[in-house]
Amino acid sequence: MSSKSESEVIYDLSYTTLSGVILPPLSVISGIKVKIHEVIDCLIRYYFPKCKSIWDCTCGTENYQFHDYLVEINGDWYYHGKIFYLPTDVRRTKWTKMLVDLLKPPYPFRDEVFDLIVYDPPFTPIARTDKRGDDYGTSETHSPLYIKKFYSEDVIKEFHRVCRQGVILRGQDFYYPPISDNLFLWLHDIIDLEMLRKYFKIVAVHVYRFFHTAVPLIRTRIGRGLMNKGYRRAMVTHSYLLIGYKKRT
C-alpha cells in the first residue's frame, strides 16, 4: 500500500486516501506503468500486513520480483531491510542462500517457519526467456501435464505445512502446442482449485497485463505461424497472481 498523496499513487495498486481509507488493488493491473516487483510489493503489503518472513522458492537468476527492495544484512537478505527473505531455486544464483527442488518434496524446513510463500515457477511449456525453464526441464517437448506438476497436491500440501499466513501463486494461460488454438486455462486446466481450497482460502485473483519489450517480435512470429496453419487465436500477455490464506484444521 502506498502512503503517497492521491495524485502520486498508481491507480491500479492499493493505496491510502487522504481521509485514511485503504483502497484495494484492482483485479486487473496494467504493466504499462507498474512493474512486477511493484505488484508483488503491493500484494504483500495489502494482504499480508503482518508478514515478517518470506520464502521466495523460485527466485530465478534475475529475481525480478524482489531484487529492487532487498538489503543484505549479516549474510541474510531482508525485504525493505526489515522482512526476512529466503530465496531458493534448483540452481545457485547470486540470490540463493540454499538449493531446493520443489518437485522433490518434502522440503527441508520445519512447520510454519515462513509467514508467506511467493511462488513463481516457469509456468508455460515454452520458457525460452526464462532460465528456470532449462533448470526444471520445461520445453516445447513437454505437455501441459508437466506444468501441472508445479501445482500438484504434494507441492501445495508442503506449502501449507511450512507457511503461517498464506501464499501468492503465479500462473498463466497458454496454448499448446505453441502454434495452435489449443488453449489451456491456468485456473481450470492447470491448477486444481478444489484441491487448493483444502489447504488455502482463495481471497483474490489478480490479472497482470505485462508489456515485455520482446512482445512485438514474438507477436509477429506467432502471427506468421498461425497464418500459415490457418489458426485464429489470442496472444497471451497476462499472468495471474492468486492470493490464498492458510486454512487451520
Each residue of 207-225: pLDDT tens digit? 999 988 888 888 999 999 9
Give the pLDDT confidence of 40-56 residue by residue, as tens digits.
Answer: 999 999 999 999 999 99
Counted domains in the chain: 1
Which residue did the predictor score with more confidence, 32 or 249?
Answer: 32
High-pLDDT (> 70) share of the chain, % = 89
Residue 22 has a pLDDT of 94
Contact (CB, 8 A) for 171 and 239: yes
Contact (CB, 8 A) for 184 and 144: yes
| Per-range mean pLDDT, top range of 93-107, 133-147, 151-165 | 151-165
Could you check whether the bond before residue 24 is cis, i.e. omega within 30 degrees of 0?
A: no
- Residue 131's pLDDT band (cuts 50, 70, 90): low
- Residue 134's pLDDT band (cuts 50, 70, 90): low
> 7 in a domain, yes or no?
no
> 78 in a domain, yes or no?
yes
- Whether 226 shows a pLDDT value over 70: the answer reads yes
- Residue 237's pLDDT band (cuts 50, 70, 90): very high
Rounded to 5°, the CA angle 224-225-227 comes to 65
* Residue numbers of the domain that contains 178: 33-246
Average pLDDT of 232-248?
Answer: 96
Residue 157 has a pLDDT of 98
Q: Which of 69, 108, 77, 105 is nearest to 93 (CA)?
A: 77
> 13 in a domain, yes or no?
no
Residue 11 has a pLDDT of 86
- Whether 10 shows a pLDDT value over 80: the answer reads no
Mean pLDDT over the full length of the chain: 89
**The CATH number of the domain where 137 resides is what?**
3.40.50
Residue 66 has a pLDDT of 95
- Whether 238 shows a pLDDT value over 90: the answer reads yes
> 185 in a domain, yes or no?
yes
Average pLDDT of 20-48?
Answer: 95
Residue 59 has a pLDDT of 87
Rounded to 5°, the CA angle 105-106-111 comes to 140
Whole-model pTM: value is 0.91
Residue 92 has a pLDDT of 83
Which residue did the predictor score with more confidence, 86 or 136?
Answer: 86
> 80 in a domain, yes or no?
yes
> 108 in a domain, yes or no?
yes
221 contacts: CB under 8 Å, gap ≥ 6: none
> 97 in a domain, yes or no?
yes
> 62 in a domain, yes or no?
yes
- Residue 5's pLDDT band (cuts 50, 70, 90): very low
**DSSP single-letter state for residue 247:** P
Which residue did the predictor score with more confidence, 138 or 43?
Answer: 43
Which residue did the predictor score with more confidence, 129 or 13?
Answer: 13
Question: Cα(196)–Cα(152) distance, rounded to whole angstroms?
Answer: 9
Q: How would you classify residue 195: left for phi > 0, otherwise alpha for psi between -120 and 50, otherwise beta? A: alpha
